Structure 1
Amino acid sequence: MGSGGWLPADGGEAELELPVVRHQPEGLEQLLEQTKFTRKELKSLYRGFKSTLPRPPENFLFEAFDTAGNGALCFQDFALGLSVLLKGTVQQKLKWVFDLYDINKDGYISKEEMLEIMRSIYEMMGHCTQPPPQDNTPAQHVEIFFQKMDRDGDGVVTFQEFLETCLKDKDIMSSMQIFENVL
């Protein structure tokens, strides 16, 4: 007998019986209470969540879902965030988006924070757009959005300013409907 590992008599690879993987998140009952998802939807989301890991998401998206702020994205955080985006009220969705832009979590969106997020979005989506966006496109969009949103001209956007502007903008409101029929 050689010093190598065990080999079957026919010289082929041994067939291992792998355990059946169950796609059910821990804390399923608690998530059913905390989200607006059904049991079937949560199980489906969990399968998708597990199959895409450990691929790292865009940094700003990761931080938006990492509600504990511990640098780890657990399924519970993901499901709670997705519940807001897919099934929350318009105000809840807009608060989630506001929090995404409020990078330093001080309760205000600065022009710099908005530009950082917009650049990330353009970087992520730019290769899908024909013709590709120019380098100054995010800055131009931020300038337009910021002029609309900074109603008192103090250089920052509060949640109230953000909310009022978004609720009055037909394009923004129609874009909020994009996820409504995802599941």
Structure 2
Amino acid sequence: MGQSKSKLSPSDLHDLVSCTEFTESEIEAWYKSFMRDCPSGTLTLEEFTGLHYELFPNVQPSAYAKRVFKTFDTNQNGMIDFREFMCALSVTSRGSFNEKLRWTFNMYDTDNDGSVCLNEMEDMIKAIYKLLGDDVVSMVLTDGLTPVQRARLMFARMDKDNDAQVNFNEFFTAAIEDPKLVMLLQPGKNKPQKDEQDKE
């Protein structure tokens, strides 16, 4: 599905309907748009970052865009094809709270080892602050904490067993227990359900 085609094949279309929350007509519309912007059929990090600059012209989205790109690029080949794009878009726009939180956790877990260390969290919070910009940060987060201070506070709340690593269950539990934390981890209107927590 990474090669340039004017139209999705029936099998590709069926595959995307089965693995996303989009309808056939929505997928076809997204495909036309994707191929218009990415005639090669894939999206590079540079192109992806450029799109973020168009969305956030007055801030610094590059660090955040790099994290998001890594999470979209599920096969880690340095490019996002249409299938990867649609699967990620489905989770981020229409997934359940728990699916979105899993996706967010993967964005924090930059080395893909199944846990988040303090450095990873600090880097991610710094990227979020740059993305939002000082004005928005000061409106949403009124306590005046720096990115590093906030990351350390969040990490301490999550790392229940004090092993200097936050696994997904700890990440999930913290999101349930602290609604304000959820605002920074995953903006969304869905509420977490404890019975849907991943068991790992």
TM-score range, shorter chain: 0.7 to 0.9
Distance (whole Å) between structure 2 residues aligned to residue 170 and residue 44 of structure 1: 35
Residue 37 of structure 1 pairs with residue 22 of structure 2: yes
Deviates more, 1:58-67 or 1:46-55: 46-55
Q: CA deviation at 1:33?
A: 1.1
Residue 89 of structure 1 pairs with residue 101 of structure 2: no
Matching residue of 1:76: 83
Distance (whole Å) between structure 1 residues aligned to residue 149 and residue 29 of structure 2: 39
RMSD: 2.8
Give TM-score scaled by structure 1 length.
Answer: 0.72
Structure with greater proportional helix content:
2
Question: Secondary structure in 2 aligned to 1:175?
Answer: coil
**How big is each residue's C-alpha offset from its partner over 1:120-160, in whole Å with a ceiling of 9 and x where there is no partner?**
22223327648799xx7211210121121111111110111
Question: Secondary structure in 2 aligned to 1:157?
Answer: coil
Residue 56 of structure 1 pairs with residue 41 of structure 2: no
Matching residue of 2:188: 176
Distance (whole Å) between structure 2 residues aligned to residue 142 and residue 128 of structure 1: 19
Deviates more, 1:104-113 or 1:141-150: 141-150
Structure 1 residues 162 and 130 mapped into 2: Cα distance closer, same or farther (>3 Å)? closer
Distance (whole Å) between structure 1 residues aligned to residue 160 and residue 79 of structure 2: 36
Structure 1 residues 114 and 24 mapped into 2: Cα distance closer, same or farther (>3 Å)? farther
Matching residue of 2:72: 65
Distance (whole Å) between structure 2 residues aligned to residue 162 and residue 156 of structure 1: 10
Matching residue of 2:55: none
Question: Secondary structure in 1 aligned to 2:116?
Answer: strand
Distance (whole Å) between structure 2 residues aligned to residue 146 and residue 67 of structure 1: 26
Letter in 1 for 2:125: M
Structure 1 consecutive aligned stretches of length 4 or more whose deviation exceeds 3 Å: 22-26, 47-54, 127-133
Aligned residues: 155
Q: CA deviation at 1:41?
A: 2.0
Q: CA deviation at 1:60?
A: 1.0
Distance (whole Å) between structure 1 residues aligned to residue 131 and residue 37 of structure 2: 17
* Unpaired runs of at least 5, structure 1: 1-21, 179-183
* Unpaired runs of at least 5, structure 2: 50-64, 191-200
Question: Secondary structure in 2 aligned to 1:108?
Answer: coil
Letter in 2 for 1:56: F
C-alpha contact 1:25 1:75 (8 A) present in aligned 2: no
Residue 155 of structure 1 pairs with residue 167 of structure 2: no
Match of 1:118 among 113, 125, 128: 125
Give TM-score scaled by structure 2 length.
Answer: 0.67
